[in-house]
């Protein structure tokens, strides 16, 4: 939220607004236009004014990309250069990148979409693989781990803002279905399946791609989800080899771990996304597809917003503007449903005293002739000059 500025001068108290927004503790769920094609195991990433959902699978792999604007209008930009499911997304600079995946064989392809949705194909991954994880830090988008068809990979590929690829120090333990999230000066990769065990390992990469291994997860698991809020990266849910997990591990900007309140329902193959001062975890599977959504605020207090409109697993999450979006998935059929969550307040009513001057979201200054109340749409840009400094 952009803060307003209050000043006093010449008998007026002036409140100056610049893109001033207000958020509530509760969430509103909407269902924007569905994906152009229902599918699961797709990937989400954001760039500029767009949230993108790419690839995925039905009976075959998909190359479709759906893009949603800040007002949730959908378009279908140029498709991926290669159809694939089990890919992953991450953002850096002016690009949303989609890397790896599977389409009968494991892929090394990377597709990059600019802020105007132009697609390019930067240097491929150094190792073809699917079920990998993505996260961003500083000037890098990182893609870590995955399965190559014959090995559980520890490889990390890093792409700069100009899409140059490097290969920093590998993960300390290779695995698939790990999760990525970012906090402060770190990109973190947590959990996974190593081919012989469920992992609790966490690898952290700094803005110069130096790797460290902070305190492990409190419970080993894979198919968990990551999201960030405030000064914490959160890793939620997963499968521990015998049951679905409800565990949430939180890492601060200095990589200290805590274990906030567990998810309200244990599940794996869920999705994470962030909006405002919340990290949200949606959907998943625990014997049946789930519609549960759990939200964690900056104090790591958990609430449970309105459930997804359709229970599903294998969905993807990302954010744009004032919305966290959860798209696609599977629940007996391949879903095209998109659920959007916001706690952004769209309007408010402001009291204006007689003699006060105001210009809010308008090019015209108005002087109030009587005490009045005006309806204003957020975000607010402009000012109110309260005559005599009275708020009545």
The answer to whether position 187 is within a domain reads: yes
pLDDT band at 242 (very low <50, low <70, confident <90, very high): very high
Rg of the chain taking only CA atoms, in angstroms? 23
Structural domain contains residue 74: yes
Tell me whether residue 289 is in a domain. Answer: yes
338 and 375 inside one domain: no
Q: Are 222 and 200 in contact (CB under 8 A)?
A: no
Containing structural domain, residue 168: 24-344
Domain match, 295 and 363 both: no
Is 121:111 a contact under the CB 8 Å cutoff? yes
Q: Are residues 352 and 266 in the same domain?
A: no
Rounded-to-integer distance, Cα 52 and Cα 68, Å: 6
CATH number of the CATH domain containing 38 = 2.120.10.80
Quick check: 250 and 258 in contact, CB under 8 A? yes
Looking at the structure, tell me whether residues 263 and 308 fall in a common domain.
Answer: yes
Same-domain status, 220 and 308:
yes
In a domain, 329, yes or no: yes
For tokens 């798209």, name the residue: 327
Whether 113 shows a pLDDT value over 70: the answer reads yes
* Residues 302 and 339 occupy one common structural domain: yes
Instruction: Please write the tens of the pLDDT for every residue from 329-382.
Output: 999 999 999 999 999 888 889 999 888 999 999 889 999 999 999 999 888 999
Is 119 within a domain? yes
Mean pLDDT of the 53-67 span: 96
Are residue 331 and residue 367 in the same domain, yes or no?
Answer: no
Q: Is residue 392 included in any domain, yes or no?
A: no
User: What is the distance between the alpha carbons of residues 274 and 262, in angstroms, rounded to a whole number?
Assistant: 18
Are 334 and 358 within one domain?
no
At residue 21, the 3 state secondary structure works out as coil
Does 152 share its domain with 134? yes
Question: Which domain-ending residue is among 344, 359, 377?
Answer: 344
Smallest Cα–Cα separation from 32: which of 326, 361, 302?
A: 326
Lowest pLDDT segment from 127-141, 142-156, 316-330, 375-389: 375-389
337 lies in the same domain as 353: no
Whether 25 has a pLDDT exceeding 70, the answer reads yes
pLDDT tens, position by position, 159-204: 999 999 999 999 999 999 999 999 999 999 999 999 999 999 999 9
Examine residue 337 and state whether it is found in any structural domain, yes or no.
Answer: yes
In this structure, the answer to whether residues 253 and 366 fall within a common structural domain is: no
- Indicate the number of domains in the chain: 2
Is there a single domain that holds both residue 17 and residue 107?
Answer: no
pLDDT band at 239 (very low <50, low <70, confident <90, very high): very high
């Amino acid at each position: 939220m952009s803060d307003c500025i209050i000043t006093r001068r010449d008998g007026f108290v002036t409140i100056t607004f610049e893109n001033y927004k207000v958020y509530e503790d509760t969430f509103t769920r909407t269902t924007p236009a569905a994906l152009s094609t229902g599918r699961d195991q797709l990937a989400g990433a954001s760039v500029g004014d767009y949230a993108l959902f790419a690839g995925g699978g039905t009976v075959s792999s998909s190359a479709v990309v759906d893009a949603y604007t800040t007002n949730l209008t959908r378009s279908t930009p140029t498709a991926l250069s290669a159809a694939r499911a089990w890919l992953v997304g991450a953002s850096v600079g002016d690009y949303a990148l989609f890397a790896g995946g599977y389409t009968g064989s494991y892929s090394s392809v990377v597709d990059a979409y600019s802020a105007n949705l132009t697609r390019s194909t930067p240097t491929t991954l150094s190792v073809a693989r699917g079920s990998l994880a993505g996260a961003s830090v500083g000037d890098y988008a990182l893609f870590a781990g995955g399965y190559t068809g014959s090995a559980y990979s520890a490889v990390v590929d890093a792409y700069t803002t100009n899409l140059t690829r490097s290969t920093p120090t590998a993960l300390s333990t290779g695995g698939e279905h790990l999760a990525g999230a970012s906090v402060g000066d770190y990109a973190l990769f947590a959990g996974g399946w190593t081919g012989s065990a469920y992992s609790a390992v966490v690898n952290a990469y700094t803005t110069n791609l130096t790797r460290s291994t902070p305190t492990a997860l409190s419970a080993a698991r894979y198919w968990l989800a990551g999201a960030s809020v405030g000064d914490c990266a959160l890793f939620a849910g997963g499968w521990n080899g015998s049951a679905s997990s409800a565990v949430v591990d939180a890492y601060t900007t200095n990589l200290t771990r805590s274990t906030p309140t567990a998810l309200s329902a244990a599940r794996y193959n869920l999705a994470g996304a962030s909006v405002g001062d919340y990290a949200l975890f949606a959907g998943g599977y625990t014997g049946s597809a789930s519609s549960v959504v759990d939200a964690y605020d900056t104090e790591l207090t958990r609430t449970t917003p309105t459930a997804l409109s359709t229970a599903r697993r294998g969905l993807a999450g990302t954010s744009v503007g004032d919305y966290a979006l959860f798209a696609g998935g599977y629940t007996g059929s391949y879903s095209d449903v998109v659920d959007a969550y916001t706690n952004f307040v769209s309007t408010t009513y402001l009291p204006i005293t007689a003699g006060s001057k105001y210009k809010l979201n308008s090019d015209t200054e108005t002087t109030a002739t009587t005490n009045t109340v005006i309806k204003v749409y957020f975000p607010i840009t402009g000012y109110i000059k309260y005559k005599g400094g009275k708020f009545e």
